[in-house]
Amino acid sequence: MQTTQSTDGTEIAYERRGDGRPLVLLHGGMAPRAYWEPVVPHFEEFAAIIPQRPGFGTCLDDPSETSAEEVLTREAEYVRALVDDVDNDPVLLGHSFGALTAIESATDAAVEAVVAYEPAVLPDEFRAEADLADEMEALIERGDRRKAVKRYVEMVLHPDGIDDLDAWLAEWPVWPDCVDLAEEVVRMNRAVERYRLPDRLDVDAPTLVLAGTAGPGFLRDSARSVHDALPHSRLVEFDGVSHSGPAEAPATVASEVRAFLQRSE
């Protein structure tokens, strides 16, 4: 593992695998670094930079009262520190909240391109009724952290239901680590619920926005809205792929990323 520091002194640990153009992989709210294990082999010509994010606002004095902008600013700071620590301008590949962080970071970081898989942005009508952060926080306060994170899985990863969620979770390699991240997931959700997508995102780098047709409909709608707000963007939707697209269909995602980067050269 290598380390660097953000401007506020927060230490950021990351793993570097391979050689080539740097590719920074930003995991979402429910996943530790292990989320990218199925993905990295499909980007063997890149130098994969895999950070363990310091937490969704955990360095802030009172995360529960922190605005979405402050949480995202703190998240973006660590990404910019990574960008400064690698050779050459990297490609940022983010999933879910990591995708939103990648876009926010690219507003003033020197990056070659951004790839954002279903950025964690809520449509206005959905955001107005969103209360997942409060629901999860109440469960954690009652001592049921596992149920709190399970509720997130039900709402985001399997919104249409699943026959045996407990069996699915038992087979999910990152599940125990996800439970450990319960408080960070609450902070992330609160930031997402408060975030408002601007009419225009000030990102000069070419951006590829990805979505799957088998995930939550509101995230697919949001991906289209993010695409519309970006000045240099391409939108691609994968038929039959869920919100976990990068890990679920890594070869398909990697192929689209390569084609996009070739067009952008």
pLDDT in tens, the chain (265 residues): 788 877 777 778 888 999 999 999 998 876 667 788 899 999 999 999 998 766 544 444 444 555 666 778 888 888 998 899 888 899 999 999 899 999 999 998 999 999 999 999 998 887 777 888 899 999 999 999 999 989 988 877 777 777 888 898 888 777 877 787 788 788 888 888 888 999 999 999 999 999 999 888 889 999 999 999 999 999 999 999 988 899 999 999 999 999 999 988 7
What is the separation of C-alpha 241 from the centre of its chain, rounded to a whole number of angstroms? 17
Q: State residue 5's pLDDT score.
A: 78
136 three-state secondary structure: helix
Reported pTM? 0.88
Q: Phi first, then psi: give them for residue 117, nearest 5 degrees.
A: -95, 115
Q: State residue 58's pLDDT score.
A: 43
Q: State residue 125's pLDDT score.
A: 80
**What span, in angstroms and rounded, lies between the C-alpha atoms of 26 and 218?**
21
And the tokens for 219?
Answer: 């995230």
Q: Which of 41, 51, 44 is nearest to 79 (CA)?
A: 51
Enumerate domains of the chain plus CATH numbers: 2-124+197-264 (3.40.50.1820)
Asked if 50 and 25 count as a contact pair (C-beta separation under 8 A), the reply is yes
Q: State residue 35's pLDDT score.
A: 80
Q: State residue 100's pLDDT score.
A: 94
Q: State residue 188's pLDDT score.
A: 82
Burial grade of 174 (CB within 10 A; 0-12, 13-18, 19 or more): middle
Task: Write the CB contacts of 21 (distance below 8 Å, at least 6 apart in sequence).
Answer: 45, 46, 47, 88, 90, 91, 112
177 three-state secondary structure: helix
The DSSP letter of residue 109 is: S
Q: State residue 66's pLDDT score.
A: 56
Q: State residue 53's pLDDT score.
A: 67
Q: What is the dihedral of CA 85, 103, 115, 9, to 10 degrees?
A: 20
Strand order in the sheet with 46-52: 2-5, 11-17, 46-52, 21-26, 91-95, 113-117, 207-212, 233-238
